[in-house]
């Protein structure tokens, strides 16, 4: 049953990939709709499949194809895999639904067919990565995922910005693959097999090397600081539904990889947990601080993804720490928090990216300073974005809160258990975690306020209209999921078979609604019911001007100043003069620029070093036949000596 369903999913996704490629030159809507529909069907099937295994809890393993005796394309769908398959399924279905309409508003005529095809391929690759039972096929599909996502990012390749983002993304994602591959090779050296199976305890030092390699590989893909820089480039450049897929799902695949290898392969040391926790905390805090400064709506969402992945890593790190200090209950609690936050982040971040895409389509700008007043013009989109914003700001009773609460709880209860020194460390991380979630509330007040409230700040924005229905239904399903996962969190955990110490959010939501209804009723019977719409006092101005509004920039100014140590700026001042005594001014240039710390102090020096090295190596390649003959000769001699020595 499960196997047949899984094959059916693969076939539908393959059909979605191949069909638009066959008709690549035909610019017909029907072709794209058929391709996207097959994605939707595959997602629905995948959803059913993953729910079946999630509830039954019995792992299903099967091999599809065995080219070598050592290696087969075999798959395992256990609870962990099916959980991540569920994330892929829900988000893909909503994104594909949204895409059916969105793609018709895009440029590129028949090239759009290819976009559909690569989207389908991308989803297929992610499904196969998650289901892979051995390391080699895990890596192969990981590469397929990287390649297909590169195609998606560079869809609008005619823009310079997109090309630059695409290359940046490609290099980072290949680095990630390189580290994953090295990690897998070390594992193969250790065990001599490709199966994802537990390591024996004896192989400690090499196991640590393997873990570090895999950790770096997954961190690059997940966007953990300092490997995060591709996110704020790739997301604004790619089409919004693709951003939703990449941020909502692809980052989670990296999380899946980390969790899978930590649970099934390694027996983690305490300091691994500390490393993951530290990386997570740094990403969470810095991610949201950078997000506050960002005025490109998609760039801001990208930074906020870094923050949320940081939170997920904090949960995983805590879980590793508790496992290593033999506190299994707390370990489960924090791992559940991390996994639940992965699911929740997939829901609300895709929702936010999709609605941001609608806003960008309607206003033709990504700069939130040029938006405003869209709550009147796009009422449904604004309501959907609002639900996403409340979720991501971790406010009760929606889902972002439920998962952050789990992680908070594991912090709070952990302190009674571990050694004094760790307690202090955990308290520091807890304080930073609290700062993160409060800042994310500030960030999304700013985002929602600047985009949807007050007066429109550009003529395009004033002329914006609500988007077509398909672009509302897709995000609508995600918004419903956000509410459901938050309000019924404890019931969901109970059904899956975990009892978590969460408060009953259903009761809290009922109380909230009851109190609101009570207040409304009391006011209705006691207070005056008169309402007037009129100009309110604006300090003596005759009417409100959009230019006098509080801008997004102004909103984050106090936090800018408080965190000015992190937002480093560089001031340059160049002047030239007509005379030698520097008296008669000719021209000059003054500039205050936000310093891109990681790019200027980490990425660029590394890139320059590798360019320099590559330059040295390329000297061997001089294009002269004699030299190459010499190389061959030296190689042969070296081989003979080597074989004579060792064989």
Partner 1 sequence: MNLDFFLYLVINTIVVITVSPLFVSLIKKVKAWTQGRQGPSIFQTYFTLVKLLKKEVIYSPNSSRIMRVTPLVTMASILVAALFVPLVFVPETVGGIGNIILFLYLLALARFFMALAGLDAGSSFGGMGSSREMSISSIIEPTTIIVFAALAFVFKTLNIFDMFAISVSTGSPSPSTLILIAISLFIIIVVETSRIPVDNPETHLELTMIHEGMILEQSGRNLALMELSAAVKMTVLMALLINLIVPFGLISALTLAGILIAVFLFVVKGSILAGIIGLFESSMAKKRFFQLPSLFAMAFFFSTLIIIIEVFS
Give kind and range of the element (H or E) at residue 316. Answer: helix 297-324
| Of residues 412, 235, 263, the one with CA closest to residue 339 | 263
Q: How far apart are CA 186 and CA 191, in angstroms?
A: 9
Nearest approach, Cβ of residue 397 and partner 1 (Å): 9
**Position 116 contacts partner 1 (CB under 8 A):** no
Which one of residues 557, 569, 629, 640 is an interface residue with partner 1 (CB under 8 A)? 557
For residue 393, state whether it binds partner 1 (rule: CB under 8 A): yes
Among 586, 25, 41, smallest CA distance to 33 is for 41
CB of 554 to partner 1, least distance (A): 7
412 binds partner 1 (CB under 8 A): yes
Cβ(356)–Cβ(484) under 8 Å?
Answer: no
- Measured from the CB atom, is 185 or 455 closer to partner 1? 455
Tell me: cis bond preceding 226? Omega within 30 of 0 counts. yes
State yes or no: residue 376 binds partner 1 (CB under 8 A): yes
Q: Rule CB under 8 A: choose which of 192, 205, 420, 590 binds partner 1.
A: 420
Q: Is 494 in the site for partner 1 (CB under 8 A)?
A: no
Residue 507 binds partner 1, judged by CB under 8 A: yes
| Residue closest to 97 by CA, chosen among 603, 454, 469 | 469
The residues, any chain, with a CB within 8 Å of residue 171's CB and separated by 6 or more, are none
Query: In this structure, are residues 290 and 233 in contact, taking their beta carbons and an 8 Å threshold?
Result: no
The answer to the question of residue 535 lying near partner 1 (CB under 8 A) is yes
* Distances in whole angstroms, Cα of residue 27 to Cα of each of 31, 111, 114, 151, 468: 8, 8, 11, 19, 21
| Binds partner 1 (CB under 8 A): choice among 452, 467, 476, 488 | 452
CA distance 157 to 119: 16
Instruction: Return the range that interacts with partner 1 (CB under 8 A); candidates 241-249, 402-410, 565-573, 616-624.
Output: 402-410
- Does residue 483 interact with partner 1 by CB under 8 A? no
**Applying CB under 8 A, which part among 235-243, 346-354, 538-546, 610-618 lies near partner 1?**
538-546
Q: Is the peptide bond before 145 cis (omega within 30 degrees of 0)?
A: no
Q: Does 278 bind partner 1 (CB under 8 A)?
A: no
Rounded to a whole number of angstroms, the minimum distance from the CB of residue 414 to partner 1 is: 10
Rule CB under 8 A: say whether 209 interacts with partner 1: no
Piece of 177-185, 188-196, 345-353, 557-565 that binds partner 1 (CB under 8 A): 557-565
* Beta strands in 416-525, from DSSP E residues, in sequence order: none
Residue 564 Cβ vs partner 1, minimum distance, rounded to whole Å: 10
**Cross-strand pairs, 588:** 575
257 neighbors 218 (Cβ within 8 angstroms): yes
- Other Cβ atoms less than 10 A from the Cβ of 288: the count is 26
Q: How many Å apart are CA 584 and CA 611, to the nearest integer?
A: 43
Please select the residue that binds partner 1; options are 201, 531, 565, 617, rule is CB under 8 A: 531
Of the pair 214, 288, the CB lying nearest partner 1 is at: 288
Is residue 413 a contact point for partner 1 (CB under 8 A)? yes
Report whether 233 contacts 164 (CB < 8 A): yes
Question: At 367, is the secondary structure helix, strand, or coil?
Answer: strand
Kindly state whether residue 362 participates in binding partner 1, applying the rule CB under 8 A: no
Q: Which stretch binds partner 1 (CB under 8 A): 126-134, 185-193, 268-276, 423-431?
A: 423-431
Residue 194 CB, nearest approach to partner 1 (Å): 44
Work out how close the CB of 571 gets to partner 1 at its nearest, in angstroms, rounded to a whole number. 21
* Contact call for residue 408 and partner 1 (CB under 8 A): yes
Q: Which residues contact 102 (CB under 8 A, 6 or more apart)?
A: 239, 240, 241, 357, 361, 471
Site for partner 1 in 57-86 (CB under 8 A): none
Using CA atoms, how far residue 319 sits from 83, 133, 235, 428, in Å, is 18, 24, 30, 17
**Least distance between partner 1 and beta carbon 581 (Å):** 42
25 makes contact with partner 1 (CB under 8 A) = no
The answer to the question of residue 394 lying near partner 1 (CB under 8 A) is yes
Among 30, 158, 499, 526, binds partner 1 (CB under 8 A): 526
Enumerate residues 6+ apart whose C-beta is below 8 A from 68: none
Beta bridge partners of 77: 60
Q: How far apart are CA 427 and CA 50, in angstroms?
A: 37
Among 144, 178, 324, 415, binds partner 1 (CB under 8 A): 415
Residue nearer to partner 1 on the CB measure, 76 or 292:
292
CB of 324 to partner 1, least distance (A): 20
Stretch that binds partner 1, among 301-309, 331-339, 404-412, 607-615 (CB under 8 A): 404-412
Shortest spacing between CB 274 and partner 1, in angstroms: 18
Among 147, 270, 324, 445, binds partner 1 (CB under 8 A): 445
CA distance 270 to 304: 28
Question: Per CB under 8 A, does 501 bind partner 1?
Answer: yes
Between residues 64 and 418, which has the closer beta carbon with respect to partner 1? 418
531 token code pair? 């309402």
How far is C-alpha 4 from the geometric centre of its chain's CA atoms? Answer: 31
Local structure of residue 104 (DSSP, 8 states):
G
When binding is defined by CB under 8 A, the residue of 84, 290, 353, 401 that contacts partner 1 is 401
With tokens 């960002």, the residue in question is 294
| Number of residues this chain uses to bind partner 1 (CB under 8 A) | 84
The kind and range of the H/E element at 585 are: strand 585-594
Q: Is 395 in the site for partner 1 (CB under 8 A)?
A: yes
Applying CB under 8 A, among 548, 594, 634, 640 the residue interacting with partner 1 is 548
Strands 73-77 and 60-65: antiparallel
- Residue 132's SS3 state is strand
Instruction: Work out whether 455 is an interface residue with partner 1 (CB under 8 A).
Output: yes
**Residues 71, 396, 425, 492: which binds partner 1 (CB under 8 A)?**
396
Query: Could you give the 3-state DSSP secondary structure of residue 225?
Result: coil
Selected range binding partner 1 among 88-96, 224-232, 461-469, 547-555, rule: CB under 8 A? 547-555
C-alpha 401, offset from chain centre = 18
Contact pick of 151, 405, 471, 482 for partner 1 (by CB under 8 A):
405
Residue with tokens 């660029």: 604
538 binds partner 1 (CB under 8 A): yes
The answer to the question of residue 559 lying near partner 1 (CB under 8 A) is yes
């Amino acid at each position: 049953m499960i196997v047949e369903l899984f094959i059916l999913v693969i076939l539908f996704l393959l059909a979605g990939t191949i069909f638009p490629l066959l008709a690549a030159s035909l610019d017909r809507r029907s072709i794209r709709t058929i391709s996207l529909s097959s994605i939707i069907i595959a997602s629905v099937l995948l959803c059913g499949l993953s729910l079946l295994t999630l509830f039954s809890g019995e792992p299903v393993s099967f091999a599809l194809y065995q080219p070598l005796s050592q290696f087969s394309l075999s798959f395992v769908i256990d609870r962990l895999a099916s959980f991540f398959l569920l994330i892929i399924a829900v988000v893909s279905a909503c994104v594909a639904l949204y895409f059916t309409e969105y793609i018709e508003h895009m440029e590129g005529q028949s090239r759009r067919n290819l976009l559909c095809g690569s989207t389908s391929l991308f989803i297929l690759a992610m499904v196969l990565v998650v289901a892979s039972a051995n390391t080699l096929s895990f890596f192969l599909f990981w590469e397929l995922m990287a390649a297909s996502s590169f195609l998606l990012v560079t869809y609008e390749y005619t823009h310079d910005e997109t090309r630059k983002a695409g290359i940046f993304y490609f290099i980072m994602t290949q680095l990630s693959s390189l580290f994953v591959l090295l990690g897998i090779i070390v594992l193969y050296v250790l065990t001599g097999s490709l199966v994802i199976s537990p390591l024996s305890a004896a192989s400690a030092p090499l196991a640590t090397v393997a873990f570090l390699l895999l950790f770096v590989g997954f961190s690059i893909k997940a966007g953990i600081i300092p490997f995060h820089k591709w996110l704020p480039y790739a997301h604004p450049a790619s089409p919004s539904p693709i951003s939703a897929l990449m941020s909502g799902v692809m980052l989670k695949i990296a999380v899946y990889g980390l969790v899978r290898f930590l649970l099934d392969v390694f027996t983690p040391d305490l300091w691994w947990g500390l490393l993951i926790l530290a990386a997570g905390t740094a990403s969470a805090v810095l991610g949201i601080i950078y997000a506050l400064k960002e005025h490109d709506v998609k760039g801001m969402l990208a930074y906020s993804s870094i923050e949320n992945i940081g939170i997920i890593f904090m949960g995983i790190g805590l879980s590793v720490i508790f496992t290593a200090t033999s506190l299994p209950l707390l370990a489960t609690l924090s791992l559940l928090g991390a996994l639940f936050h992965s699911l929740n982040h997939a829901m609300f971040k895709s929702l936010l990216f999709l609605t941001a895409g609608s806003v960008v389509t309607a206003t033709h700008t990504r700069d939130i300073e040029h938006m405003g007043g869209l709550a009147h013009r796009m009422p449904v989109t604004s309501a959907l974005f609002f639900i996403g914003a409340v979720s991501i700001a971790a406010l009760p009773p929606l889902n972002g809160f439920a998962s952050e609460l789990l992680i908070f709880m594991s912090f709070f209860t952990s302190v009674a258990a571990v050694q004094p020194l760790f307690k202090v460390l955990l308290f520091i991380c807890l304080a930073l975690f609290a700062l993160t979630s409060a800042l994310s509330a500030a960030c999304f007040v700013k985002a929602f306020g600047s985009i949807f409230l007050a007066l429109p700040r550009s003529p395009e924005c004033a002329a914006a209209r609500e988007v077509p229905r398909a672009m509302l239904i897709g995000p609508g399903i995600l918004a419903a999921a956000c509410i459901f996962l938050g309000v019924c969190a404890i019931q969901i955990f109970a059904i899956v078979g975990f009892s978590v110490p969460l408060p009953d959010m259903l009761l809290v939501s009922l109380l909230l609604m009851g109190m609101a209804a009570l207040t409304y009723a009391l006011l209705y019977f006691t207070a005056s019911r008169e309402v007037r719409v009129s100009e309110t006092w604006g300090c003596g101005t005759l009417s409100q001007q959009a230019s006098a509004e509080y801008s997004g920039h102004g909103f984050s100014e106090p936090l800018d100043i408080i965190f000015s140590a992190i937002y480093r700026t560089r001031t340059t001042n160049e002047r030239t003069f007509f005379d030698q005594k520097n008296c008669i001014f000719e021209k000059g240039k003054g500039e205050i620029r936000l310093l891109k710390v990681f790019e200027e102090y980490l990425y660029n020096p590394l890139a320059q070093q590798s360019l320099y090295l590559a330059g040295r190596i390329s000297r061997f390649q001089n294009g002269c036949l004699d030299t190459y003959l010499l190389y061959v000769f030296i190689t042969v001699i070296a081989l003979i000596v080597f074989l004579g020595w060792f064989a």
